[in-house]
Structure 1
Amino acid sequence: MDWDKIRVFYNVAEAGSFTKAGDELGLSQSAISRQISALERHLKAPLFHRHARGLILTEQGDILYRAARDMRMRIETTQARLFETSEKPSGTLKVNTTVTLGSFWLAQRISEFTDLYPDVHIELILTNEELDLSMREADVAIRMRRPAQPDLIQRRLFTIHYHTYASPDYIKKFGEPKTISDIDEHRLVSFGGDEPSHILAVHWLATAGRDINNPRPCHLLVNNILALKNAIKTGTGIGALPDYAVGQDPDLVQVLRDVEMPSLDSYLVYAEEMKSVARVQAFRDFLVTKAQRWSF
């Protein structure tokens, strides 16, 4: 079928008359009528019921109208994406990552990116749940494990190391654990709650060196790393924290220095269809370049 004729038909169906469609398309009423008649002859089916009050789609016309509407939407979407890829980075970029990484680390570095690309507006979506990128719940994500979906582009960024910490006051009161077995004599605080298993796995002090079915009791379980950090700082107990959340905090002392702790690898991920979008390319290049010297 001739797309020009389909385009004319779509405008007529939207306008409800040859005259209105002609005004929108810059064509005469007779030219519009000839196009529709030629299309009806080609399809061997009437597309409109013609009466004094205007035009009404026939059953065949309604089928063609729905198809034409879908085609138009696809073309408009494609045109928008082509425009995005050919222009400088601009528009809104929805970035998803975990609450902890987003709060402690990414949010502190966004300003450097926005200084480089002032026309890009970042929307940070912080949740420990993995959003559906193929459904555009987010444009890009930084995840704490390798994605399993085959339709997602992924790029490893950096390794996040965890260590065990306590406060100076806690150590003064209860002593410092030197080995895994020493943990039995200490109070534990841990990240917990209804969280993804791969994130909970790095907070392993309760089961380290023990049967997984016989964990050590925790004095505090909390589903927020900032709250966990504050609890450790105020002497509630010892617990594992990601290094980027600790920094040079004088109220936290690393313990169990000789014990190898779990770590998480981070990945930048986005849908295949977003790979040529300028703002996604800019954000990807920014993170990949910085990841060479970011290690926690």
Structure 2
Amino acid sequence: MSETITTLEKLASSVLQTLKEEKNIEQKLQSPLRNQILKGEIKKITDVEDRANRLLEEGVIDIYAEQIDSNYIREIEYLRIKANYYRSKVLQSIDVDQEVVYVYATHIFLKDFLEKELQQFTGDILDIIALEQLEKEEPIVVQPNENLVSLYEDHGLGSFSKPREQGLPIFESSSIFSLCNLLKPYFSEQDFYYLESLFETAVQVPRKLFFLSEGNKLADLFWQLYENKLVFNCNKMQLERWIAINFQYSERGKVKGFTPKYLNKIISTDHQKCKNPIVDISNDFSTNINS
């Protein structure tokens, strides 16, 4: 990273608290309307970003011009930061480039802070229901016996040498190979190393695996697996909890963690079909994957 970018980041980081105070962020976080307020604050920032991208595509502004159009200073500075303009351009002085620092602090640091706060538990009724239900659940250890062995063999699993807790998902063994192949492009090589083990054992891996795309795609895939009876030994809420513990996803180039509310809306409630699903699973999973 260049010295210019390092300096810019340090300056922007130093004014972040000032920005929070100016916008009364701490008070807003305590408000009963916290969720709506955070969405509103994020929208103010993304509206500028959307306008900047539109102006750039329409050829209205030029981020590499020597003279900046005073009507679009904030939009141009946002696009310059996004385009790594300041990796090769030296800031003239702190005073002259105060607008650059402000834009960087707003669109990088403040936006990130607000988005992370929005993901935290906010008292939403869906989060309350999910968390209360999870607290009530007691792990039930399933002891192998003739009936259970028969059930497992019906799914191609064979008998287990170790008991499996009720609530930990069991994936149809014949589908695991196809499932891993399907998901291989969505994980780094290092994370993919753990993926098959996770599907075979459901035991938590050393770290959350990073899904390199939108979270709704992965959640939709697990919903389809459940609906097509390719995962069992758990209810939908337990499956949601398992996903949240073991996976994270990418949103606008940033790492996001799954929340109970997010997963509940996709897996446990009626929802619109994913517009760009990873796969459309039929009852014959392997045939569908290979077709």
Query: Which TM-score band (shorter chain)?
Result: under 0.3
Q: Quick check: which one's helix share is greater?
A: 2
What's the TM-score once normalised by structure 2's chain length? 0.23
The structure whose RCO (Cα within 8 Å, separation 6+) is larger is: 1
Q: Quick check: which one's strand share is greater?
A: 1
